[in-house]
Structure 1
Amino acid sequence: MAEHPPYPVGLRLTGRRVVVLGGGQVAQRRLPALIKAGADIHLVSPEATPSVEAMADAGEITWHRRPYAEGDLADAWYALIATSDPDANTAASAEAEAHRVWCVRSDDADRATAWTPATGHSEGVTVAVLTTDARGRDPRHTAAVRDAVVEGLRDGTLVAPHFRTRTAGVALVGGGPGDPDLITVRGRRLLAEADVVIADRLGPRDLLAELPAHVEVIDAAKIPYGRFMAQEAINNALIEHAKQGKSVVRLKGGDPYVFGRGMEELHALAEAGIPCTVVPGISSSISVPGAAGIPVTHRGVAHEFTVVSGHVAPDDERSLVDWPSLAKLTGTLVILMGVDKIGRIAETLVAHGKSPDTPVALVQEGTTAAQRRVDATLATVGETVVAQDVKPPAVIVVGDVVALGPDGTTA
């Protein structure tokens, strides 16, 4: 038998009798998958672990509280032999062979008629790995191969696009703050399966280089005071490509709903009857400060943090931010898109009661290789931005947390 590899097959056990001998740790690990398969499970064992007993109490398995006896495998389709009695295991194995029941033995795989593969799951796919090397089975290697394949499917590094079950539509994917490793697992998988990607400038650009050659990438970069793709044009592009039956990913920086205009795109798609999936992303408002060593909250220092947009100045009639109220808060203030307005913002905060000595940090290109941190105070930040040539994108943090050192005390 060792000279020939096993023949892989998927057993459909729904409603079919499965016998498990032994109620120990092996049964505890294997029973959940058999339950999920819908098998009619009969456990034969005088004792069982608390977890296995709970399965019996829940009615998921039928527990016969006794040792194995001749005839227990009658009418079974599949058997798992995992008792601590070698003689019982041998006798049950012989019965399985006589009745042509596929049988797994935990104590002696070479004498079994079936092996349990290392299995994992990802989006409706079951990955099952068996060692076929006649020189010896290596369970750790098998498990490692299983983990590598499943992880690759989950994070999109192993591209396995759907062909029969794919549906046209749009996914609004939050790409995170910039580091390609900080996109969510689901976002990366959808990106790997896309036909068209409409990408923002602040999305994780490095991921675009990993896309297959057939994927169409559309640059929707909205560079401040430079060329931009109007929001209406973006909406139309999403709708047009989805109506062509393509899988479209709208790759956005941070989170789609944190100053990302994701809801506008969702409404446009809904009006056009296009199905849309929203995949949250890690917002730069908390991740970028964290990457620069700044916690937005800290015990005894800040019990709150507020995120605001600084893309319009406090004295601009379009501003919806209540700056006077923000000046009275004692927590952390995080300002996005406010580099060129930070001087006027700081003046407004100070004018309404915020101390001019309040620490300020500007973190440019956060989480990327180009990240840099520039420190100032509300009194000096306007001059510092100019002197240090701070450019967007940058996250601005205002509050005492900025002055915290690695040991949690004020630096």
Structure 2
Amino acid sequence: MSRGARAGTVIAVVLLAANLRPAVVAVSPMLTDIRAETGLSGPAAALLTTIPVLCFGLLAPFAPLLARRIGLVPALVAVLCAMTAGGLLRLPEPVVLLFAGTAVFGAAIAAGNVLLPVLVKREFPDRAGTMMGVYSVSLSTGAAIAAGTAVPLLLLFGHAWRSALAIWALPPVIALLAWLPLLRNRSATAPAAIEAPRTPLRRAPLAWAVTGFMGLQSLVYYATVAWLPEILIASGSGQERAGYALSVFNLVGIAGSLIFTLTVGRTRNQAGYALASAVLYAVGFGGLLTGNLDFLWAALLGLAQGITISLALALILLRMPDAGHAARMSGMAQAIGYLLAAAGPVLVGAVHDATGGWSWPLLLLGALLVPMAAAGAVAGRDVTLEVPTTIGVRS
């Protein structure tokens, strides 16, 4: 690959990765307006952030099938087209279209979650670790931009939340401009499949530890994203300040991802990252119970989530001996892990409605940190799971 082509691919990866979270994150700062106009209950409103996570789990196994049928680059171009369609579906008035557009967005993100790392491994085999760091930072950056601009956009559109949500149909169009050259220049030949005997990952305790950590850290993250603005508003913060706090949460997540990326190469055992991030989460949730220093607690929570998502992605690679094993591990971790994570926003919303406050939901999230840290400690050990597999997609 020429230097220019490689630079174009890096830009394309960054732009697509930055589009994999805004459609989910932008909803939570607007939940107060959405519920006021539509009359949705807490659990029903939480579905707007839970549906995409369900899609991540349910549809992740089908993404490689799409890539094998039409090719990897065309599949990722289709992801961006689906994102645009999902964003526009949320503009009309019927509430059912709000949920339908969210589901389309979720399906697109699910495919992007699985296929974009495959492209990174194929195009940057010598710098896959560095590019996965770029990938993680781009995820956090896109989420931070969405969180920070959600309320200003809402105010700009005069609290017309449908228009403020539909605006997120535009960034995928911009990303498409970077992907079309890759579509034109893609190779016509397919890489050979990796053939090897199969051993079920679901019989391996280490694989379940990786999956458990992926699922629990995702559950805590999506529950926090869904309800952090509401928690802060209930404690006295204004709607705009709560949106900015969510932006701080995601911005500091970038720092967490960078810290992990810069230091993980010096360690053979990653259990310490899991334990440290659980402590940071616990302090942040405990701080939210006091109702003061909202930006500080949001920053601590953000630092924790930046470390945990980077660790979850890295464990899939570090515990597997090659890309073939990692592909199967990724499918298992994302499918089962995200289905577990989907319960987070709805569960927290239901506990809030049942108790009339946020103390019990925060204590629940704090309790979930114990199994999360335990799974991370097991998965973080310096061991490699040698489970052969078979993978392969067209270009």
Same topology, TM > 0.5: no
TM class, shorter-length? under 0.3
TM-score by length of 2: 0.23
Structure with greater helix percent: 2
Identify which of structures 1 and 2 has the higher relative contact order when contacts are C-alpha pairs closer than 8 Å and 6+ apart.
Answer: 2
Report the structure number with the largest CA radius of gyration: 1
Structure with greater strand percent: 1
